[in-house]
Amino acid sequence: MKPYYNHKGIQIYLGDCRDILPELEPVDLVLTDPPYGVLKAEWDSKFPIGEIWKQVHTVLKKGGNLIVIPGEHDLPNKIGIISNIFNYQWVIPWYKPNAMQFGKTGYSKHSLIWWFSSGEPNEKPSKMIDIISIPMGLNEDRHPGHPCPKPVSLMKHLLINFASDTVLDPFMGSGTTLVAAKQLGRKAIGIEIEEKYCEIAVRRLSQEMLPF
C-alpha cells in the first residue's frame, strides 16, 4: 500500500478508510474530526460509521486513546455507537469565544471533545484544564478550502496533553491533525477519501518544511 505522501514520519493515504485501516500497524492515539452526517456536502454523507469505529478499534493499541470531535448533530446516537466499542473516559468542552455559528438556542460558542480509550488508558492528560478556550478563524490557524477546519492550536493542545508516539486521523480532511503533529515532531498518519483535500494537506505540510 503506497502512501499518497510520506515525509519524515508523516504519511497520507488516499482512499476509503475501510480499505486502508486493516493495512496499518497499530497506533497509540486516534485524534479525529469525523463527518457530521448532516448531508450538507458530498463528504458528509451517511456511511456505516459503526463499522468504521470497529476498524479503528482494531488498529488502536490496547490502552490507546481516541479523541473525537463529533459535532452536536445527532450527538446521542453518535456517542452511543462509539461507547459500545470503546471505553468512555471524559468529555472536554472547547469554548470558542469568537464563534458566530447559530445553533438551536442561539449563537453556539462551544463544541464537545470526547475522550475514549481501548481498555484502561496508557496515557492520561497531564495538568490539563478540562475546558479549552481557543478562538476559531485566526489567520494561519484555520485553513480555507475545507468547510469545517479546526484550529491547528486546538489539535496541538490535544496532542501535547495526550502524549503518543504515532497519531492517526482516519478522517483527515485538509490535514490539520497532521500539521499539528509535524509542528510537535510527532509521527502521524492521515486517511482521506477525497483527493482535493489530500492535495491541500500536502501543500500545508510542504509549507511547514520551509525555513523561517
Single out the residue of 20, 7, 53 nearest to residue 191, CA to CA: 20
Q: How far apart are CA 95 and CA 199, in angstroms?
A: 30
pLDDT of residue 40: 47
pLDDT of residue 212: 35
Q: How far apart are CA 85 and CA 90, in angstroms?
A: 15
Q: Homologous superfamily of 5-209 in CATH?
A: Vaccinia Virus protein VP39 (3.40.50.150)
**How do residues 135-185 score in pLDDT, each as one tens digit?**
986 554 445 555 567 899 999 999 999 877 899 999 999 999 999 999 999
pLDDT of residue 29: 97
Residue numbers in the chain where pLDDT is lower than 70: 36-47, 102, 106, 137-148, 208-212
pTM of the predicted model as reported, rounded to 2 decimal places: 0.88
